[in-house]
Structure 1
Amino acid sequence: MLKRTLSALIGAPIFLGLVYLGGPYTAFLVAVLSLLALLEFLQIGKQIGLVTWPVLTVLVTILWLTSLFTEREEWMLSALLFWFVICLGRLALTYPNASLSEANFNLLAVVYSVVLLSHLYLLRQRPQGIEWTFLTIFLVWATDTGAYLIGRQFGRHLLAPHVSPKKTVEGSIGGLIFSMAVAVVWWRFMGGTSLLTYIILATVIGISGQIGDLFESALKRSAGVKDSGKLIPGHGGILDRFDSLIFALPLVYYGVILLS
């Protein structure tokens, strides 16, 4: 518990500070987190018994991040299409030495660890991006906190017993309630849009964040590992700490675009 607390006290201000500063600071944050998350994802693949493609995945990650930070949207789409063709092409040219599971996993490695996570930068760069980004982060944290507190006190019915023996339906509902409560407080003091919008946003983040958490738990269970890494003392790896945000950030980003 002490390691977990100290990591949070040191890591959270650095993370929030780089998000607050925006621009190249957030770009640096996203680049580091994406590459570390990718390496963790590939390591999980090895634990599962799959052949991973570290050189190819890192190269396409660099291409994607370069396109992202230089605001070349057409390059970003090209990078994704290029990676899709490479994965399927490698399967086609080297089968049966390469399996469909191998190709799918390496494709997903970049999409999940890099493309989804890089929406942190995309959201921060939007008009009023600092407010939307901080709101997303706080709502994810509120969901995690509510799910833990309510689940620990009142949890009786397991939410996904084959994935996580500790997460409960009651905790999940508690996480949603906490997320909505923080959204109401944010609306009360920050305004910016209607209360209904904030409630919808809190619900979307509360649900997607918990699904992201469960997805990463299922991934680790498939590999037979407890944590995705050991980089953050008391927390595990980058994927362990950002699994909820990885799912929530893209939904908020495209939701903001639709509402604009």
Structure 2
Amino acid sequence: MFKRTISALIGAPLLLGLTYLGGPYTAFLVAVLAILGLREFLRIGKHMGMKVWNILTALATVGWLVIVFRYGSEWMSTAIIFWLLMTFGRLALTYPETPFTEASFNFLAVMYSTVLLSHLYLLRQLPHGLEWTFLTFFLVWATDTGAYLIGRGFGRHLLAPQVSPKKTVEGSIGGLLSSVVVALLFWRLANDAAFLTYFVLGITIGISAQIGDLFESALKRTAGVKDSGSIIPGHGGILDRFDSLIFALPLVYYGVILLS
């Protein structure tokens, strides 16, 4: 508990501070998280017995970050298609030496740890991006806290026992409601804000954050590991700490674009 508290006291201000400063500071934050996240994802793959493409996925990650930091979302679709063709083109050219599961895992490694996470930078770059990004952080934290407290106090029915035996349906509902309540508090404090936008984002984050958490838990169970890494004392790895955000950030980014 002491290590978790110290890590939170150091990590949260760093996350909020680099996001607040924006521009190259947020880019630096995203680059570090993506590279470390990719390293952890590939480590999980090794525990699964998967052959991981260290060099190719690293080059894809660096290339993606350069494109996003330089051009924003302009070339994202092209880059994703290019990476898709590269990974499954390798499958086509080297099968059966390269099985479908290997190509799929390495494709997902970059998509999950880099492409999804890079939406933190894209969201911050939007008009009023600081407010939207901070809203996302606080709603994810509200979801996690609400799910933990309600689940611990009132949880009776298991949500996904094969993935996470301590998570309950009651806790999940508590996390969702916590996200919506905090979203509506932000709406009351914001000027000229649309109620629908905040309400939809509250629901979206309350659901996606929990799915992101469960996805990473399922990934670790498949690999037979407790944590994705050990870089954050008391918390595990980058993916352990940011799993909820990784799923929430892209949905908030496109949701803000559609609803604003």
Shorter-chain TM-score category? over 0.9
Q: How does 1:27-106 map to 2 (within 5 A)?
A: 27-71=27-71, 73-106=73-106
Residue of structure 1 equivalent to 2:172:
172
Post-superposition shift, 1:93?
Answer: 1.3
Relative distance call for 1:18 and 1:103 in structure 2 (3 A) is same
Relative distance call for 1:162 and 1:125 in structure 2 (3 A) is same
SS of aligned partner of 2:50: coil
Answer with 38-47 or 67-76: which moved more: 67-76
Residue of structure 1 equivalent to 2:125:
125
Residue of structure 1 equivalent to 2:16:
16
| 4+ residue segments displaced more than 4 Å | none
Post-superposition shift, 1:75?
Answer: 3.9
CA RMSD of aligned residues (A): 1.0
- Please list the CA deviations of residues 12-41 of structure 1 after superposition, one character each: whole Å capped at 9, or x if unmatched: 001100000000000000000001001100
Aligned equivalents of 2:57, 2:120: Cα separation in 1: 20
SS of aligned partner of 1:234: coil
Relative distance call for 1:152 and 1:102 in structure 2 (3 A) is same
TM-score in terms of structure 1 length: 0.98
Structure 2, unaligned runs of 5 or more: none
Post-superposition shift, 1:225?
Answer: 0.5
Amino acid of the residue matched to residue 3 of structure 2?
Answer: K
Aligned equivalents of 1:152, 1:184: Cα separation in 2: 25
Answer with 186-195 or 144-153: which moved more: 186-195
Question: Residues 42 and 52 of structure 1 are in contact (CA less than 8 Å); yes or no, is this contact kept in structure 2?
Answer: yes
Amino acid of the residue matched to residue 51 of structure 1?
Answer: K
- Please list the CA deviations of residues 37-84 of structure 1 after superposition, one character each: whole Å capped at 9, or x if unmatched: 011000000000110001000001111100111116454333222211
Q: How many residues align?
A: 260
- Percent of matched pairs sharing the same residue: 71
- Please list the CA deviations of residues 202-225 of structure 1 after superposition, one character each: whole Å capped at 9, or x if unmatched: 000000000000000000000000
1:187 correspondence with 2:187: yes
Aligned equivalents of 2:158, 2:236: Cα separation in 1: 23
Structure 1, unaligned runs of 5 or more: none
Aligned equivalents of 2:194, 2:116: Cα separation in 1: 27
Residue of structure 2 equivalent to 1:210:
210
Amino acid of the residue matched to residue 168 of structure 1?
Answer: T
TM-score in terms of structure 2 length: 0.98
